[in-house]
Structure 1
Amino acid sequence: MQQPEQQPIQKKHWLILSHGFNMDGRAASQTITDKIPYFLEAGVKPMVFSSITGIQDQHIAHRQFLAWGPAAFRFDFRHWVANQYGRGWFYKLTTRSVSFLLVPFIALEKLFLGYSSQWSWAMPAYVHGLKEIRNNNVDLIYSTGGAWSAHLAALWLKKKTGLPWIAEIHDPLVIRKSPQDQGFDKPINRDARFRQYLEKQLCKYADLVWWFTDGAVHYAKVRNPNLNEPGNTVAMMVIPGAMPPLQQTKEEKNVEKHSTEEQSADKQSAEKIVQAHQYSNKLHLCHFGSLAKDRSLSTILKAVNHLTQHHPKARGQIQIHAYGAPLDELSKDAINECSQNGIDDLLIAHGRLEKDSLTGKSGRERVMQAMQAADVLILLHGTDEWCAEYIPSKFYEYLWTGRPIWALSHRNPQLDAMLEERGAYISHAESEAEVNRALERIWLDWRNQQLIEPKWMPIGVDQAAQCILDKVHDINQIHSLVMNR
């Protein structure tokens, strides 16, 4: 994807706070790691602070810190051991021992605070960040999450030092319950109350803050009318996008690749991969990502039951593959129902794809290969009200595969518009009839080998990075004018 001409940047030393940086296959990691090459090309000199849950980057300044709270320590320690020694007997022995020792301290932490586990990572991030700032090694603070501890540390640093602060909000901090709920009510849950407070602080003290959907920006402005007012925090929407699959492969192998020619070659190669898809004797519907009660494959499984009742030939011709997460309880119940109706081997749960020690392929590479082998990619949006402010990050990876998408969306016109523009099967998740009709159409299209061929309109990371760089350039000019007065 061709990059726009870069703007010169005055303040080049960025402190990037990202709790889950370089965690293989994690959306909270990929959202920032994929932007790093574009920032480097623009002249930014990043210093990344993260937890120890990911792999330490050897090509940029990257420091990893243990969280200071017991719950976060347990979480981080588990990932660190898995990265270093795998998930064999040593992992089970050490993590269980540490968990046992930490149980009373975690109980006290939950009793007195009640925050999500990663909150305490903000403390080492703040202490070490303040030291770097006082040593004149930082011009700008960039918090991204994922875990809101990065934003909390950035808030403390902003208040202490006054440096420019930009913040990237992945998921809404305030979770609304209904279309009528604007997010003003005081939550009962202590973590939710703190996230509500943190959003207000972000919108008051950050120089620039952005969300990933129009809906998220809209509701944040409703709660924080000061946004985009003269002299106040600038708020915007940035579509995160995703890396092309071949570029992902090279990035995972730590090969620097920034030239426009190479990115164009990647896109052409990706198109060739799309054209190579072959139909088989089964319709393979593949889902990637987390599953939950509000985002369950049970809806699809019930639709298969309905389809086979009207089209007996479909029995045994459909196979659903789930990657990336354990099955939710609703999906398990639906599988049992299918089995009672004589539909066996319908769902295969592959779990999380991680680095393959035999082939050397990263989890992210393996996921992309599985995506490209699918007949249709399932995009479960969810059924909660917050779907109006959220688009699954997998959507942008799906676009690079060129495979048809079947989206079960909920109250998000922005997502629906992007799907319709590119060509997709779309159902509204709350309508059982729509889901049943969509599956019937997909099965008939597959039998005729005429599945939708989506328009080749992927969304790269370059556009997101450039949007941020342009806004930071404006912020730096404003700060320079203030400093010179």
Structure 2
Amino acid sequence: MTEKVQSTSIPKKWLILSHGFNMDGRAASQTITDKIPYLLDAGIEPVVFSAITGNKDVRFPHKQFLAWGPAAFRFDFRHWIANQYGRGLVYKFLTRSVSILLAPFIGLEKFILGYSSQWSWAMPAFVYGYQLIRAGKVDFIYSTGGAWSAHLAGLWLKRKTGLPWIAEIHDPLVIRKDANDLGFTKPKSRDAQFRQYLEKQICKYADHVWWFTDGALHYAKVRNNNLNTLNNAHGFMVLPGAEPPGGLNANQAHAYSDKLNLCHFGSLAKDRSLSTILNALLPLFNKYPEARECIRVHAYGAPLDSLTEEAIKTYGFEDVLLAHGRLERDLASGKSGRERVVEKMQEADVLILLHGNDEWCAEYIPSKFYEYLWTGRPIWGITHRNPQLDQMLLDRGAYLSPEGDVEKVSAALERIWLDWRNQQLIEPAWKPIGVDQAVNDILSHIQYC
């Protein structure tokens, strides 16, 4: 437990702008909602603005707004209906009807602006935020995301009112193409162009701004010289961490079964594909035929990507890879999706951490990594160009492979198989990263903001 920062010099009345606040199982939500108890304990009096996609918090004022643009309205409406009625016939009828009605307006919005859908949530957040500030109910602005609309609203409020503004950047706003690309080139898409502009504005006007990796902070400083000073927009790095998830059984001992269960949680895509694992299984099965009946790969939380689906068909691995989809709240048991996910994590023999193969991996650490650390299960990290992540994995005891190196991926899989067969899987060091350290780091930087 880190020592708590004394917050006597920190403004107390915070407006927190978070588009996805209290959305069950969403990383962009958990990053801020996990901080709330520590902020409350520090004497902060928050008012939260979010979209209607999450559950309304009752511990403090929490205002939920529909976005004013058609694309964001459709996105938020779908999630709201799912929360209210599930994803059955009512959901299908209402969402399809709304999609048909909004289609021409969404097309017009995309043609004129070309921004990502949630951008327009910034408008109600700004309007109602300005009203609160004028009424004297807010003396500090905190934007976090996730969806960059929260930062856009924070920028507008900062420029209009002059109140202190802090910004928490989850994923890099500027996506570089390769190691030689520093992010100065004008992107082709209008959304990427606006994100490039928004990063400059954040670094110019925010009183403090932080990123979640050393790499992201490094490249932001390269593009924005004022981050290297102690003046406006003093930039720093914060490890977001994660709270011990609900459903975690700290006393649960691992039990070996007749199956080696390799489990992946989270989104999949062509650049972050379980085909990497399946391709390595083929030579392993040729070398150890008995492994074919023992190894199972489980995918939770997202549809399979096209490369994984192709590998399943090519190799006949329909019985090897089991896709479970997203775990939602279970009405029978009352368990949240997050609680059910943690149960499955603790049942795993090895947790798969796919980092991806894009250049932005140098600036990104999957949020699932921090949850994995609480489970006490060994992690197999397949990482790309991120020394910070590699070192954190090695410090805690993990299987580690560089993405794209077929021989090393295969070697790590063979080691896992042999370790499991001998019932000697790596015992990871108990070094989870909590959220208290993140909040204390943030408060220590802003106490004289």
TM range (shorter): over 0.9
CA contact (8 A) 1:445 1:451 kept: yes
Matches within 5 A, 1:228-377: 228-245=228-245, 248=246, 270=250, 272-273=251-252, 276-339=253-316, 343-377=317-351
Shift of 1:9: 4.0
RMSD: 1.1
Q: Could you say which residue in structure 2 is the equivalent of 1:219?
A: 219
Equivalent position SS for 2:226: coil
**In the comparison of the two structures, how many residue pairs are matched?**
449
Letter in 1 for 2:367: S
Q: Could you say which residue in structure 2 is the equivalent of 1:433?
A: 407
CA contact (8 A) 1:388 1:412 kept: yes
Aligned counterparts of 1:386 and 1:412: Cα–Cα separation in 2: 10
Q: Could you say which residue in structure 1 is the equivalent of 2:355?
A: 381
Aligned counterparts of 1:24 and 1:447: Cα–Cα separation in 2: 37
Counterpart among 404, 410, 420 of residue 384 in structure 2: 410
CA contact (8 A) 2:20 2:51 kept: yes
Aligned counterparts of 2:256 and 2:283: Cα–Cα separation in 1: 24
Of 466-475 and 40-49, more deviation after overlay is shown by 466-475
Moved over 3 A (4+): 1-7
Equivalent position SS for 1:460: coil
Query: 1:161-190: CA deviations, max 9, x gaps?
Result: 000000000000000000000000000000
Matches within 5 A, 1:434-449: 434-449=408-423
Aligned counterparts of 1:55 and 1:230: Cα–Cα separation in 2: 38
Shift of 1:85: 1.0
Query: 1:67-118: CA deviations, max 9, x gaps?
Result: 0000000000000001111111100110010001110000000001000000
Shift of 1:6: 3.7
Aligned counterparts of 1:356 and 1:344: Cα–Cα separation in 2: 27
Shift of 1:13: 0.3
CA contact (8 A) 2:304 2:323 kept: yes
Shift of 1:344: 4.4
Equivalent position SS for 2:142: strand
Equivalent position SS for 1:105: helix
Aligned counterparts of 1:232 and 1:24: Cα–Cα separation in 2: 35
Shift of 1:471: 1.5
Matches within 5 A, 1:97-246: 97-245=97-245
Matches within 5 A, 1:23-34: 23-34=23-34
> TM-score, normalised to structure 2's length?
0.99
Letter in 2 for 1:461: V
Unaligned runs of at least 5 residues, structure 1: 250-265, 476-485
Aligned counterparts of 2:285 and 2:178: Cα–Cα separation in 1: 35
CA contact (8 A) 2:350 2:377 kept: yes
Letter in 2 for 1:311: Y
Equivalent position SS for 1:315: helix
Aligned counterparts of 2:448 and 2:9: Cα–Cα separation in 1: 9
Tell me if 1:22 matches 2:25.
no
Of 224-233 and 318-327, more deviation after overlay is shown by 224-233
Query: 1:429-482: CA deviations, max 9, x gaps?
Result: 11011110000000000000000000000000000011111122121xxxxxxx
Aligned counterparts of 1:4 and 1:47: Cα–Cα separation in 2: 22
Equivalent position SS for 1:349: strand
Q: Report the CA distance shift for 1:242/1:230 in structure 2 as closer, same or farther (over 3 A).
A: closer
Aligned counterparts of 1:154 and 1:232: Cα–Cα separation in 2: 15
Aligned counterparts of 1:173 and 1:224: Cα–Cα separation in 2: 13
CA contact (8 A) 2:23 2:54 kept: yes
CA contact (8 A) 2:19 2:50 kept: yes
Shift of 1:5: 5.0
Equivalent position SS for 2:420: helix
Letter in 2 for 1:94: L
Letter in 2 for 1:470: S
Query: 1:291-324: CA deviations, max 9, x gaps?
Result: 0010000000111112101111111110000011
> TM-score, normalised to structure 1's length?
0.91
